[in-house]
Amino acid sequence: MESGAGITNERFAEVLKDSSCLGQFRNGSNPWMARYVYGLIFLFSNLLAWAARDYGRGASVKMEKLNVCAGKSDCSGAEGVLRVSLGCFIFYIIMFLSTAGTSKLHGRRDAWHSGWWSAKIILWIALTIITFLVPSAFFQIYGEIAHFGAGVFLLIQLISVISFIRWLNDCCQSEKNAERCHIHAMLIATTSYVVCIIGVILMYIWYTPEPSCLLNIFFITWTLVLLQLMTSVSLHPKVNAGLLTPGLMGLYVVFLCWCAIRSEPAGESCNRKAEASRRTDWLTIIVISRSLKISWHFSIFMTIDLVCRQSFIVALLAIVVATFSTGIDSQCFQFRKGEKKDEDDVPYGYGFFHFVFATGAMYFAMLLIGWNTHHIIQKWTIDVGWTSAWVRIVNEWLAVCVYLWMLVAPIILKFRRAAEPV
């Protein structure tokens, strides 16, 4: 046994000598690099789902010939997104089931997680193709399941964000860093509150142009109330969490409120800014460039600017980054914390990592179809519709509830323990 372990360690050391990324990718020696490869696979799935939604209409005729679409014209629209999502979901579920519980490096499951890339890429491609051969009736069921999976992803992401904010606050309040981080913490907290107030003011200006915009007024005003509530609870003498955590949480909830209002359908009288941002299309850019005889360099610049203003590409990348960062943050879901790690322990939870990506596959599907399997969404748009808006608002309110519970729960448990008879 010892000789076998020695050979494995020697093999691992020899592999690490090849410091090139290609060498480590080929030998499957680096679990840290492996997560980037999984992130790229997830990104390609996002792009493929978007292409199926916006540019896959021509494939519907071929799909109908295979008796897969059952005469539906939207087989490669919203349903196409669900098909790609299902293939991505199955791939990461397989990875989850095959790597869950991995605790040590150099083992078979670690090698499977960090290597065998040719086999896994072929598996992902095969699963994606097979989903386009599944009858359409199945995706009505999968669409409902994906709502739940996307909600699980949002909850995991929410807990991860709050845990990071609390971890940052604990580091700043620790005896080791209290004096050194005091000024920095106050500066970050002050900046956060200023940005929150500016954000609320801008939302009032942009999204409440008329007094009849009662729903938007309610969303923004309630966000301001929640910010005040988080600050009051955090500064309570029994909690004494300071201003840093409610300030950063304020940024998060203001951002969620902004995303919710931005998700309202274009054309609404209270969301004219979103409508104006969508008036310009690709043809307009080309016509203007040609009429003004603008160089192709400037045409490309204007095209990139248009994409950025529509926030579509940025949103796709944000999905991948959010899934990636949440997937490696398995420590905030561990019940036993503070345990020392051995040198041969895995650097992050493989099973949790793949589970987050599996739920993320359902999440990007919901964003691309506006959380509604029967919703027709325009090209180059993402997360648009009243369902999307309400999902964001509920996510904001839930974030505040979870944050307040994390502040109050230790006090309640301490009070109950003190009240119990000895």
> Mean of the pLDDT values across residues 227-234?
93
> Is the pLDDT confidence value at 94 over 90?
yes
Highest averaged pLDDT of the listed ranges 3-7, 29-33, 94-98, 313-317: 94-98
Q: d(Cα 290, Cα 306) in Å, to the nearest integer?
A: 17
pLDDT of amino acid 257:
93
Supply 134's token pair. Answer: 């599944």
Q: Do the Cβ atoms of 370 and 385 come closer than 8 Å?
A: yes
Q: d(Cα 10, Cα 8) in Å, to the nearest integer?
A: 5
pLDDT of amino acid 28:
53
Model confidence band, residue 30 (pLDDT cutoffs 50, 70, 90): confident
> Is the pLDDT confidence value at 246 over 70?
yes
> Mean of the pLDDT values across residues 58-87?
64
Looking at per-residue pLDDT, the higher value among 293 and 332 belongs to: 332
Model confidence band, residue 16 (pLDDT cutoffs 50, 70, 90): very low
Q: Give the chain's count of helices (H) and strands (E).
A: 17, 0
pLDDT of amino acid 398:
93
> Is the pLDDT confidence value at 4 over 70?
no
> Mean of the pLDDT values across residues 149-153?
90
> Is the pLDDT confidence value at 256 over 50?
yes
Tell me the sheet residues that pair with 104: 345
Looking at per-residue pLDDT, the higher value among 74 and 383 belongs to: 383
**In the 8-state DSSP scheme, what is residue 331?**
G
pLDDT of amino acid 65:
52
Q: Please write the tens of the pLDDT for every residue from 118-136.
A: 999 999 999 999 998 888 8
Q: Do the Cβ atoms of 361 and 89 come closer than 8 Å?
A: yes
| Extended strands (E) in 273-334 | none
Distance of alpha carbon 363 from its chain centroid, rounded? 8
Q: d(Cα 42, Cα 153) in Å, to the nearest integer?
A: 15
Could you state, in order of their start, the residue ranges of all structural domains in the chain?
27-338+348-418
- Cα angle at 191 between 185 and 197, to 5 degrees? 135
Residue that is written with structure tokens 């142009």 in the block = 209
pLDDT of amino acid 274:
52
> Mean of the pLDDT values across residues 223-240?
91
Residue 345: what are its φ and ψ, rounded to 5°? Answer: -75, 150
How many angstroms separate the first and last alpha carbons of the chain?
51
Q: Please write the tens of the pLDDT for every residue from 197-225.
A: 999 999 999 888 888 889 999 999 999 99
Residue 104: what are its φ and ψ, rounded to 5°? Answer: -125, 150
Q: Do the Cβ atoms of 81 and 53 come closer than 8 Å?
A: yes
Neighbours of 61 (CB within 10 A): 12
pLDDT of amino acid 277:
47
> Is the pLDDT confidence value at 52 over 70?
yes
Pick from 282, 307, 355, 364: nearest CA to 78: 364
Neighbours of 80 (CB within 10 A): 30
> Mean of the pLDDT values across residues 408-420?
79
Residue 270, classed as helix, strand or coil, is: coil
Contacts of 240 (CB under 8 A, 6+ apart): none
Highest averaged pLDDT of the listed ranges 240-249, 322-331, 380-389: 240-249
Looking at per-residue pLDDT, the higher value among 265 and 148 belongs to: 148
pLDDT of amino acid 414:
80
- Cα distances from 212 to residues 166, 169, 215, 220, 268, in angstroms, run 39, 41, 8, 14, 12
> Is the pLDDT confidence value at 295 over 70?
no
Q: d(Cα 49, Cα 41) in Å, to the nearest integer?
A: 12
Q: d(Cα 136, Cα 69) in Å, to the nearest integer?
A: 6
Residue 274: what are its φ and ψ, rounded to 5°? Answer: -65, -35
Residue 10, classed as helix, strand or coil, is: helix
Distance of alpha carbon 103 from its chain centroid, rounded? 26
Q: Tell me the percentage of the chain whose pLDDT exceeds 90.
A: 26
Residue that is written with structure tokens 């097979």 in the block = 130
pLDDT of amino acid 371:
85
The type of residue at 337 is: K
Looking at per-residue pLDDT, the higher value among 25 and 306 belongs to: 25
Work out the burial of residue 276: count CB atoms within 10 Å of its CB; fewer than 13 is exposed, 13-18 middle, 19 or more buried. Answer: exposed
> Mean of the pLDDT values across residues 236-242?
84
User: Number of C-alpha atoms within 13 angstroms, CB side, residue 55?
Assistant: 6
User: Number of C-alpha atoms within 13 angstroms, CB side, residue 61?
Assistant: 1
> Mean of the pLDDT values across residues 217-244?
91
